[in-house]
Structure 1
Amino acid sequence: MTEPHEQVERIRAGYNALSRAYRGDVADGPTQSQYAGWLGWVRDHTPEGGHVVDLGCGNGIPASKWLVDNGFRVTGVDVSDEMIERAHTLVPGATFVRADLTDPAEFDLEDASIDAAISLYALIHIPLECQRGVIGRIARWLRPGGLLVATVGHTAWQGREQGWLGGSVEMWWSHPDASTYRDWLEEAGLEVVHEEFVPEGSSGHQLMIARRA
């Protein structure tokens, strides 16, 4: 059985090796358009100039850059050293931190200190037994009325793929189903105000928008 720390380190190594294969320096049209639609929830429901945390920010493209370009103060967090190094260059208007989100000693925030949080295709990499606690911490960081915009699992699955994106490393995923995520969000004090299925290949993910009471 793989320990959570070992899974995190394998994911870090995977994104370090596949940073450019996963995301280029400029988002393509469909990706930019899709992310802009999701991030529009932040733009439309967050005070101008508000503080947004991008959890699993990768190289900052497209989400952190979009948020900065729309006037938000952005802190991006990612486990990959390579992604964070690129993000500093690609999105100089944001602050970036290399950290493991499962470890509060590496990254934590004051209660009610941010206006919104986004986590796009990132929670699904976190070890399953750690995700509930991470969601609870995110909820604690949000100010009243603050939003979480996240893409999470639609159906439950845990597994790994060798040779992901044509590389020589393996990548790991672990997530429950959308109903479980809904329960975890509500348990943390967040109200789910919108959700939709995001198709990908023969399956897909779930977009969830939740608000702190």
Structure 2
Amino acid sequence: MTRVACGGMSDMKAVVRQGYDAVSEHYRGQHDDSGPYAEWLDALRERIPVGGSVLDVGCGCGVPVARDLVRGGHRVTGVDISEEQIRRARSFVPEATFVRVDASEAEFPDASFDAVVCLYVLFHLPLSEQGELLGKIARWLKPGGWLLLLTGREALESRVEGWLGSDAPMVWSQADAATYRAHLDTAGLEVVEQVDVRDFLPGSSDVHSLFWAREPSQRP
């Protein structure tokens, strides 16, 4: 990928939305297996109540996160900026609730969810909005609730043309893992585990940071 400035907040979000609209079917199919998500989702299910509520931020087409959690008896709400991803998600996982919205503009009542899943999405937001979103997520979690978060590991800004064989570009903007850990601390979330994981996309050598963080049972 060629490192470039992302061209401003509004432009970045438009590129992300149009990019996922363009590659949705190529990116993931209805019957794709859970891949590296399976272990993470199994661990999440062990941490939250049976039938608990989960918010999937950047839900894509609903596969595998919403699909697998619904199959496990959980109540799932998914949000995504891409109209095409949301259209497919509603078709693939009709038992869940899906909302087409920019994650940074989503609003939910405090203490709404037993868990929030935010995988491969934070670095599609401008840097200035990423810490703010984590603060909102902390408020949306119930006391003792869990956040499963994947972030960048190294700071970079990237843009690629013809993403995944489409005519659309894609952009990324990320801080380093230490910055994301600081954002979680500022949000009042307790980081329980942090590990490095390799990108699942074919041909990618990117390494990300996976965080398990928890909303305290009681705030100070």
TM class, shorter-length: over 0.9
- The equivalent of 1:67 in structure 2 is 69
The letter for the 2-side match of 1:189 is G
SS for the counterpart of 1:19 is helix
Number of the residue aligned with 2:99: 97
**Unpaired segments ≥5 residues, structure 2:** none
Q: Percent identity?
A: 46
Q: CA deviation at 1:3?
A: 2.3
Deviations 1:3-40 (A, max 9, x none): 21221111101111111111111113xxx141111112
CA distance in 2, matches of 1:178, 1:16: 29
Out of 210, 213, 217, the position equivalent to 1:210 is 213
Q: CA RMSD in A?
A: 1.1
Q: Secondary structure at the match of 2:103?
A: coil
Question: Separation in 2 of the partners of 1:102 and 1:5?
Answer: 12
Runs of 4+ in 1 over 3 A off after TM superposition: none
CA–CA distance in structure 1, aligned partners of residues 171 and 35 of structure 2? 27
One-letter amino acid of the counterpart of residue 51, structure 1: S
Q: 1:66 deviation in Å? A: 0.5
Say yes or no: does 1:24 pair with 2:23: no
Matched, 1:196 2:199: no
SS in structure 2 opposite 1:102?
helix
Over residues 145-176 of structure 1, what are the superposed CA-to-partner deviations in whole Å (9 max), with x where a residue is unaligned? 10000111011111111011011110011111
Query: Aligned letter for 2:30?
Result: D
Q: Name structure 1 gaps, 5 residues minimum.
A: none
Q: Please give the residue correspondences for 1:124-203 in structure 2 after superposition, counting only pairs within 5 Å.
A: 124-200=123-199, 201-203=204-206
> Aligned partners of 2:73, 2:30: CA distance in 1, in Å?
21
> Hey, what's the Cα distance between the residues in 2 that align with 1:179 and 1:38?
21
Match of 2:18 in 1: 13
1:50-85 Cα distance to aligned partner (Å, 9 max, x none): 110000000000111011001100000000000000
The amino acid across from 1:73 in the alignment is R
Q: Distance in 1 between matches of 2:176 and 2:210?
A: 12
Amino acid in the other structure paired with 1:20: E
Deviation at 1:203?
A: 2.8
Higher mean C-alpha displacement, 53-62 vs 202-211: 202-211
Using structure 1 for the length normalisation, give the TM-score.
Answer: 0.94
The CA distance in 2 between the partners of 1:82 and 1:27, in whole Å, is: 17
| Amino acid in the other structure paired with 2:184 | L
Task: Specify the code of the residue in structure 2 equivalent to 1:21.
Answer: H
Q: Which residue of 1 aligns with 2:111?
A: 112
Matched positions, count: 207
TM-score normalised by structure 2 residue count: 0.91
For the residue of structure 2 that corresponds to 1:13, the secondary structure is helix
The structure that is strand-richer by fraction is 1
Match for residue 87 of structure 2 among 79, 85, 88:
85
Q: 2:37 aligns with which of 35, 38, 52?
A: 35
